Chain A
Amino acid sequence: MDSALASDRVHTTHSGVYLRGTVRTAAKLLVVGHFGVGKTTFVGALSEIRPLRTEETMTQAGAHVDDLAGLDGKTTTTVAMDFGRLTLSDSLVLYLFGAPGQQRFTRLWLDMTQGALGALVLADTRRLDHSFEVMELLEDHGLPYAVAVNHFDDAPVFPEEEIREALDLLPDTPLVTCDARDRISATRALITLVDHLHARTAQEPV
């Protein structure tokens, strides 16, 4: 390739940028939660590529539902999505998309949810009530989910039953604790989610 621009830049940042030629299937899971809960950290701990970000300008259609307090007169805002990739076998690749929940009416959110197998909701015990919005959003979309409490060092630890009650979780919704910075811990949280999704497909006649 001569005078390559984009591909050169990519190659210098990471040699394993491109997918294996044998990959045939791409699966999609969402990592959601409120601002600052650790979504980007979680995706970054698992991704084999440098996590990527795309941005979209959100116009008036969804602007009034967003929290734009203190931003009087602002009619557009930028929404962003971070994502990463895990090659799981010669033929299968998994993409993780992380985004906050207040992007519900944007095209980017629709793009993210379409075809997603399910979602992992990250929660913070210091702000459990902040998780309701995104959980409601997933329920509206009919997307199954599991909840992972991302443990912050200075956050209070509660018994599982109390967290379940505070989040008003259904009995079969899995709840785990994880450290979003740790690859193994984050992998375990994802396994809990996928286990749950798999059990559901076994129960429901498709």
Chain B
Amino acid sequence: MTPAVPRRDKGLVRPYVVTEGRSHPTRNTFDLVTLVMAHGDRPLDGLSPEKYRLMELCLGGALSVAEIAGYLQLPVSVTKVLLSDLVDSGHLSTRAPIPSAQLPEAQILQEVLDGLRARL
């Protein structure tokens, strides 16, 4: 059963403040498993505290949208708004989940199957 996870201090800042009042990202390209990569050459000056934290996390390596939300303890919807802004400003780029035009589902399933069997 899911244990009662001790919450970190939720803080005084409400989600709509973090997103500057917006509930939708500027682009609609984020899935939970969209892979996000940071560009190390962009200045972090002037970023909001949440975007700064997000960039610090992402500069370490590639992560999915869901993982970023999990580590930063932000709702996924809020995370998407922040990610979207940072893609617009050139701080981040994304790799779409399952590039279906390139890989048919049957091939992905076969690779998943092979990978799981190798773990037994």
Q: Do A and B make up one complex?
A: yes
* Interface set, chain B 35-80, CB cutoff 8 A to A: 35, 53-54, 56-57, 59-64, 66-67, 69-72, 74-77
- Which residues of chain B have C-beta atoms less than 8 A from A97's C-beta? 32, 66
- Which residues of chain B have C-beta atoms less than 8 A from A184's C-beta? 120
Any B CB within 8 A of the CB of A167: no
CB-based nearest A residue for B59: A1
Cβ-defined contact, A111 with B95, below 8 A: no
Cβ-defined contact, B98 with A25, below 8 A: yes
- Which residues of chain B have C-beta atoms less than 8 A from A157's C-beta? none
Given A18-B63, A56-B76, A117-B108, CB of A26 within 8 Å of CB of B97: yes
Any B CB within 8 A of the CB of A147: no
Cβ-defined contact, B105 with A201, below 8 A: yes
Cβ-defined contact, B95 with A108, below 8 A: no
Candidate in B108, B117, B118 with the most chain A CB atoms within 10 angstroms:
B108
Bound: A19/B64 CA distance, A: 9
Partner of B97, one of A19, A28, A183: A28
- The contact string, 1 if C-beta is below 8 Å from chain B, for chain A 163-202, is 0000000000000000000011001101100110110011
- Which residues of chain A have C-beta atoms less than 8 A from B33's C-beta? 26-28, 95, 115
Candidate in B32, B62, B76 with the most chain A CB atoms within 10 angstroms:
B32
In this complex, the interface size class of chain B, counting residues with CB under 8 Å from chain A, is: 35 or more
In the assembled complex, 6 residue pairs joining A and B whose CB atoms fall closer than 8 Å, in A order, are A17-B63, A19-B62, A25-B108, A35-B1, A190-B116, A206-B106
Q: A interface vs B, CB < 8 Å?
A: 1, 4-7, 9-11, 17-19, 21, 23-28, 35-36, 38-40, 49, 52-57, 80, 82-83, 85-86, 88-89, 92-95, 97, 107-108, 111-112, 114-115, 117, 183-184, 187-188, 190-191, 194-195, 197-198, 201-202, 206
Q: Besides A27-B97, A38-B1, A184-B120, 6 other CB < 8 A contacts?
A: A21-B62, A28-B33, A53-B5, A95-B33, A111-B31, A187-B119
Q: B interface vs A, CB < 8 Å?
A: 1-2, 5, 15, 31-35, 53-54, 56-57, 59-64, 66-67, 69-72, 74-77, 95, 97-99, 103-106, 108-120
